[in-house]
Every structure is written in C-alpha cells, then in structure tokens.
Amino acid sequence: MFFQYKHCEQQYVFYICNNKVSLIFEYMDGIKQRINSLREELNQHNYNYYVLSKPTISDYEFDTKMKELTDLENSNPEYYDPNSPSQRVGSDLTKTFRQVEHTYPMLSLGNTYSESEVREFYDRVKKGLNDDFEIVCELKFDGTSISLTYEQGELVLASTRGDGVRGDDVTANVRTIRSIPLKLRGNDYPDRFEIRGEILMPWTVFEDLNRERAEQEETLFANPRNAASGTLKLQDPKIVASRKLDSYLYYMLGENLPADGHYENLMKAREWGFKISDAMRKCKTLEEIFDYIKYWDTERKNLPIATDGIVLKVNSLAQQRNLGYTSKFPRWAIAYKFQAEKALTRLLSVSYQVGRTGAVTPVANLKPVKLSGTTVKRASLYNEDYINQLDLHINDMVSVEKGGEIIPKITAVDASQRGVFDEKVTFAKICPECGTPLVKAEGEAIYYCPNETECPPQIKGRIEHFITRRAMNITCGPETVDHLYNAKMIKDVADLYTLRWQDVANLERWAEKSAKNLVDSIQSSVNVPYPRVLFALGIRYVGETVAKKLAVAFPDIDRLMAASLDDLMQVDEIGERIACSVKAYLSQQKNLDVIARLRTFGLQFELSEEVISQRTDKLQGLTIVISGTFEKHSRDEYKALIEQNGGKNSGSISSKTNYLLAGDNMGPAKLEKVKKLNIPIISEEDFLKMID
C-alpha cells in the first residue's frame, strides 16, 4: 500500500508492507527510479534461479519485492513495460495468433540413426570444405521450436516454427517463461538479432500435469514435447505461466554477431542471460564425436528434460555458408537420433484402478527401473486382451519401453526366465474397491464395475468431474473432494450445494476464509449454462461436444428425458452407443433424483432465451471445414457460429464437406484436397453474408 505526504514543497511517498514502512523516497521522479531498480533486481534474481539454478534470496523475499513492483506499476500505469518481470504471470486475455514471416527460414535437420551415417556426414563436410573444421556437438532437446527476436536488448517477437517460412506469434505466452530473458544483460549485443531454441516441459512438471489430468479423467499428454507445444498455443497466458515451461537456446542469426564461431556466439549469449546447455562440446575428430554420443546415450537418462538425440553442427559460420543447403536441409548440420529407450525389469504384481465411469484399468507394478529421465515403477496393461497377448506371469522379466512417452508399456516378456510356479495373470473378476462382480459389454474390451451408487472411486470421480473447469468450474480439487467425502459431508454432486461454510471450517486443515471461498464458488456455479451442466453430469460417452449437440436438439432437460432412442439418434453425431448410454442414465431413479435436487438449487437445465433466439437453420445440413487465420473472428468463434446456425464443423475435408471457410495462410494440403474434390471455397465475408 502507498500513501503520499507533502511537507512544504517536498513530496514523500511511503510503501507499507506487512504493517511495516519498508520504503520511503522523495518526489514522484523517485517512483520511476524505484520501479526500474526493482525490475533490474528481479530480473537478476530470475536469472539466478531459472538459468543458473543458484537463487540468492528466499521465495518470500522475492514475492515481497514483486508485490511492491506490481503495486507501483498499478498505481503508475504511465510506466508500463511489457518486458517488466511483473508481466511473467501473463494476462487472462484471449487472442488469436497472428502469423509472422521468418527473417530466416526455420529448416529441419536430416536425421541419422547409426555411427556409419555420422561418419558419412563427417566425410561429406570434409570433402566439401577441403579445410580444417570443428564440429559442435549438442543435445537434441525434445520440445517445440521457438525463434526469439531482440531489438536493443529487449524481446520484441517470439514465433513458432510453423511451416518453416512463417509461424505463429506467441510472444505473450513466451514472456511467461522465466528462463527466457525479457531484457538482456550487458551492452555488447547486436542492435537486432534472432536466437532459436527449444521450449521444453521438464519431466517433473509434465508428470504433475498428467497426474492432474488423470484425476480429472482428461486425455493425457503423450510426452513432454506434445505438452510443451500444446501449452505454447494456449489462448490464455495465465495458464501458460502455470505450466512452468523451460527453454534452451542453440542458434544465433543476424548481422554483426560477436564471432564467426557458432559455439563462441552461444557462449556470449550465455553472458547476456540466455539459457545455454552446458553439454555443448567442440570436437575436431570423429573419435571425439563418437565419445560424446556414447556418453550422452547413457547420461541423458539423468537429465531433468527430454532429449532424443545429438545435433552436429559445423562451428564456423563462414564454413556453414560455404556448405549451403539442399532443398530440405542444411549441409552443415545433422541430427543423430537415439534409439527408443528400453529396460528389462521384473513384474511384481498387477493392480486395478476404477475410474468415475466404473471402467477398470489394469496396471503393472514393476521393480523400479530408470527410463527416459524418470524412475518407472508402473506400466499400463490397457485391458484383458493385452494381458493375454503378452501371456504375462507374476515375476516375469519384462521389456519396458518409454521412448519419450508418458505411460511406459510392456513390449515383450522373456519367458525363458520364468519360474515353473510363477502364476499366470488373469483379469480381476470383482471390483477391487467395492467387491462387486465386474461386467463387460459384448464387443467391448473394457470391464466395468456396475455399482455406481456405492463404489467410492466412482462416486468421488463423478464429483471430481463435475467440479472441473470445463464443467461447473468449482474451485477445488480431488483432495478436497476426498476430504469432504471421507467426512461424510458429500455422497453425490447435489450434496455440494448443501454445504455450509461453518461446517466445512470445522474440518481439520480448513479455515474460515478457505471454507467461504469453496461455498462461494459452489454457489456461483449455478450460473453455468445448460450444455456444460449436461457435460458435468458425467454421462458415459457424453463429452463437451456431444453435450452441446444434445442441448441444442433438446433445449431443456425435460425434453431430453422424454426423448426416445430414435429421437436421440437423429441428432448429428449421436450413434446408438451414445443414445443408449443417455437413455440408461436418464432411466435410473437415483440419477433423476440428483437432477431434481440440482434443479431446486437453481442449476441451469434449459437453454436461455437469448441463446435460443440466436439459433437459426441457415446452415442446416451443411458441413463446413475451417482453415487459416481470420480478421473479424477467431476460429473458435466461427466454429460456434456454424453450430449456432445449424451447420456442422468438421476438422477434415471429405466428399461430405460442403464448404471450406478459408482465411489467410491456409494449409496447402487442404487447398489441394478441396480443389481435387471440387469443394467451394468461401471467404470470411462470404460466410458472414450466409448467416446474415
């Protein structure tokens, strides 16, 4: 908090933090000086922590200084700076990414998988240069490529690789990555230059993120690369900031670079504040290169981030220019890819997990083994058919493969090491949580526990699904659900709306403020619209898209309850399986009772008059594919407009496509396909005229 005091012609500004006067300075000019001082100090601490991994102050001290800076900036908006360390958290504004053309094309590298191919590359370089040369060996980080442009020492643009010629402007998201400097250190950098590298998600962050998604029964990210790429393209920088992305930079371009050597330029970039890998090495012989490859093929397992190979580059920039490019790749660089990691370990036991829908998933419990930078203790066994295919026995020696994937899998069994009395793995016949006999629908591979009302993981799972951000957006997590369930305060989703903050505050580890926040969030959720409420109910096979289609076809829950199987199957993309699931859910009295209770608490079980009035049949029966970038609306907004006017949005072009809604920078593959199928291409203006 700030207050000002004026004595005669002298003006003082006081800053109060934690009931103490922590700062006094004179004149309003001092505010700008203090802001600049705090920014410089916080940038240094960010560099110490995220690049050097050597923090010099406590988190509390850092947060206190950040709070002071934020308060000063909020009180003095004329000193706003997009590169201030306070902007690292990101704003919550959504946006559409604009496409920017790369000053220098972002080409991919040729891949090699054997030492003989590395030798061939080395010999080609030697022959092409006919001179002495050095090869820089670097780790090939398994993330998503990024290009950063700096002017006068400040970050002005961050763009993705895209198609190599142009990419998406993701500057707002990249500003949240703390290992990327917003302002450079020193003053000996070029006026303008570009530096490229990789945006990464560390293993620990990745596993925490997938653990959270698994608890919400959301689709897991396959690997850190997909997670990093997906995060970088999110529309909300605040979410990007929460994902704790990291970076390594590995190539500098521009005029007036510090040196002719690629390695030397990156060493200078490190002085400016960039995160440069310590694993870089200059090699003069093939033997040194092979020693480097051999070392990191093993040592990479201990790294906190994912790697999938080694990159070899000619060090001299002049020699790089002399070697030039093929039509696809630079002749002066190549990537050596590691083989997918495998390990042999012992199967100790098989356990079974029950999800919110009652689906039972077998999990292999393994003797711990190091794989792709993490210790693997478990592997998915998918279903009964997969277990039988492997002919698994307890105590088998099994081959586990990760290859950068999050969920390790057992790829083979060494039956030669099997003991005579080792027990064959057979799928569980009863629910491990409630003891109910499991069932399996004809034609399906998944077993289910049918005890929906008494099986604890199903009950808690349905509540956890109900509260998620994309459903009812109630601000609590699985731990809170577990706590309230164990305290016998909730046994279904409707019970959430009966909670009193006074009762919650009496529970262990709860305080009045957190209890009030929970209850306030629950009460606010009554404003969530009908389609999301349908999704929140957790009907099997009814995801967000299906819930929207059902809400449009049956504008209130009463009409949905009265709908026949045939009525449901008339809705676009609703087949027999989904229709039967909806009918089964709405025919069970316990579910009807929960819905009735939710209605009494004020939840939305019908489309609003405003939404209904905006719906038309102008695009009825039409399937439209969207491609490119647009000026007037975002792609998501156009998808919503298509659905709002009775049309169907599809992600792929087929003979059933009626129109392609084309914006700027449309994908060449889609363009070629629509021409081949003679599908009409309409512009943004054409589409808006169609829906008036």
Q: Annotated active-site positions, please?
A: 140
In 3D, which of 94, 247, 84, 90 has the Cα closest to residue 172? 90
Whether the CB-CB separation of 99 and 664 falls below 8 Å is answered with yes
In 3D, which of 180, 172, 174 has the Cα closest to residue 95? 172
Separation CA 275–CA 258 (nearest Å): 17
- CA-based torsion, 168, 169, 173, 174: positive or negative: positive
Separation CA 458–CA 443 (nearest Å): 23
Strand-pair partners of 546: none
Indicate the pairing of strand 2-7 with strand 447-448. unpaired
Separation CA 155–CA 274 (nearest Å): 12
Using CB atoms within 10 A of its CB, is residue 500 exposed (0-12), middle (13-18) or buried (19+)? exposed
Two structure tokens written together for 72: 């000063």
Whether the CB-CB separation of 92 and 236 falls below 8 Å is answered with yes
Q: Return the exposure string of 87-96: e unless at least 16 CB atoms fall within 10 Å of the residue's CB, then b.
A: bbbbeeeeeb
Whether the CB-CB separation of 12 and 28 falls below 8 Å is answered with no
Cβ neighbours of 692 (radius 10 Å): 7
Task: State the DSSP string of 55-101.
Answer: --S-HHHHHHHHHHHHHHHHH-GGG--TTSGGGGG-------PPEEE
Separation CA 229–CA 218 (nearest Å): 17
Separation CA 624–CA 645 (nearest Å): 12
Task: State the DSSP string of 326-362.
Answer: -SSSBTTEEEEEPPPPEEEEEEEEEEEEE-TT-EEEE
Two structure tokens written together for 62: 């850092």
Two structure tokens written together for 238: 């605040």
